[in-house]
Amino acid sequence: MKIETKVIHAGIHPDPQTGSVMTPIYQTSTYAQSSPGVHQGYEYARTQNPTRETLENNLAALENGYGSVCFGSGLAAMDAILKTLKSGDEVVSINDVYGGSYRQLKVIFGKFGIESKFVDLSDAQNLKKHIGPKTKLIWVESPTNPMLQIVDIEAICKIAAEAGVKTCVDNTFATPFLQTPIDLGADLVLHSATKYLGGHSDVVHGVVICKTKEDHEAIKFVQNASGAVPGPLDCFLILRGIKTLHLRVQRACENAEKIAAFLQGHPKVEKVYYPGLPENPGHQIAKKQMRGFGGMVSFDLGNDDAELCRKVLEKTKYFLLAESLGGVESLIGHPASMTHGSIPKEERMKTGLTDSLIRLSVGVENIDDLIGDLEQALEVL
């Protein structure tokens, strides 16, 4: 099955009782048993829910994994992965990482004796010198948030595997339509399904996709034991969103490529970060491991000037000023004070995340309207 068919059919079957084409929302906390311990595979809804199960089967198929496990948010999904580690273990993470992921690694798990190092992985060979005897997990994003750096996933996974270390790829920005990390050697894939998978800015949700049965069982154990499960309505909304993933992401990529080119030629814009630009340092690797360059574009107005940014951010009409990304509507944001506010400035500056950086999540609106909106907003400078 090709991905455009998988998004609609993989793991999804009409309801056997009624023929309902849409997966029903099983809004129940428990299931009737005919005799103690005699049931139809469902006992209690933290442990099993048919709506969630259908979504998990669909997501596992999309990412070419053995199985997937869904959670109430992307960060709850990450929490479950990290809970498979133990005190004394170490995580090596890419330094340009989502702010909430940084905070969870550093503040929450650091407190329980799981140390994290944040390192530059723009050259995959760099990873070699950071893997030590305590390293148990490599954490990468590609493209990264918000600098849209490209990491050579295949090279990273190979170095990690040779050292007996697992790799988790946060695939939120790329989506399985553009990139399937398990095919490149990853052991685990994480999504904030809040973003492109849901796609309509109406639900918070997360998922871990596992390459092996063993990892799937380990994460499922944490899901049941820690309990950060999503509700069935939320699972339904993600299932519905995924059905148009390919159409939405394709249009977002087309729009983003045109916007990146427009910004590149704009006199007030100092620098554009987009892996689709031929001069972007990650362009060749992106071409190799992705099927498109994605809908996220960042650009810098220069001089580390937050005030300049504020003027533009207050002026756009279609690009709504908001956290999050991956919805049908275009969003604009200021990473330094919004999504990445939890990362200290000296850490941020190492990756080029200045106070004058603006991040766009390009939606599926008409491209002329979007460019016109940015054009009029940049006129305030």
Ligand X SMILES: *Cc1c(COP(=O)(O)O)cnc(C)c1O
Give the DSSP H/E element, type plus range, for residue 210.
strand 206-210
Q: Collapse the DSSP code of 271 into the 3-class scheme (helix H, G, I; strand E, B; otherwise coil) and give the result.
A: strand
Nearer to ligand X, 78 or 285 (CB): 78
From 6, 136, 195, 248, the catalytic residue: 195
Nearer to ligand X, 75 or 189 (CB): 75
Task: Using alpha carbons, list the distances in angstroms from residue 34 to 15, 29, 38.
Answer: 22, 17, 6
Task: Provide the minimum distance between the beta carbon of 342 and ligand X in the complex, in angstroms, as a whole number.
Answer: 12
Which residues of the shown chain bind ligand X in the complex (CB under 6 A)?
A: 73-75, 98, 100-101, 141, 145, 170, 172-173, 192, 194-195, 204, 206
DSSP codes of every residue in 21-54 = SSPP----SB---SBTTB-SS-SBTTT--HHHHH
Told to judge if 170 belongs to the known catalytic residues of this protein, a careful annotator would answer yes
Q: How does DSSP classify residue 108?
A: I
Beta carbons within 8 Å of 338's beta carbon, 6+ residues apart: 323
Q: How does DSSP classify residue 149?
A: -
Told to judge if 234 belongs to the known catalytic residues of this protein, a careful annotator would answer no
Q: How does DSSP classify residue 381?
A: -
Task: Provide the minimum distance between the beta carbon of 93 and ligand X in the complex, in angstroms, as a whole number.
Answer: 12
Q: Are the beta carbons of 93 and 122 closer than 8 angstroms? A: no
Task: Provide the minimum distance between the beta carbon of 36 and ligand X in the complex, in angstroms, as a whole number.
Answer: 38
CB atoms within 10 A of CB 326: 29
From 79, 96, 170, 300, the catalytic residue: 170
From 26, 98, 196, 273, the catalytic residue: 98
Beta carbons within 8 Å of 145's beta carbon, 6+ residues apart: 96, 97, 98, 172, 173, 296, 335, 339
**Beta strand extents in 72-198 (DSSP E only):** 90-94, 115-119, 135-141, 166-170, 188-192
Task: Provide the minimum distance between the beta carbon of 138 and ligand X in the complex, in angstroms, as a whole number.
Answer: 16
Told to judge if 195 belongs to the known catalytic residues of this protein, a careful annotator would answer yes
Nearer to ligand X, 93 or 145 (CB): 145
Told to judge if 103 belongs to the known catalytic residues of this protein, a careful annotator would answer no
Nearer to ligand X, 192 or 255 (CB): 192
CA distance 320 to 300: 18
Q: What is the dihedral of CA 157, 299, 176, 13, to 10 degrees?
A: 150
Cβ-closest position to ligand X: 74
Task: Provide the minimum distance between the beta carbon of 258 and ligand X in the complex, in angstroms, as a whole number.
Answer: 23
Task: Scan for tokens 């609106």, then name that residue.
Answer: 365
Nearer to ligand X, 174 or 260 (CB): 174
From 31, 42, 46, 158, the catalytic residue: 46
Nearer to ligand X, 24 or 72 (CB): 72
Q: Which residues are catalytic?
A: 46, 98, 170, 195
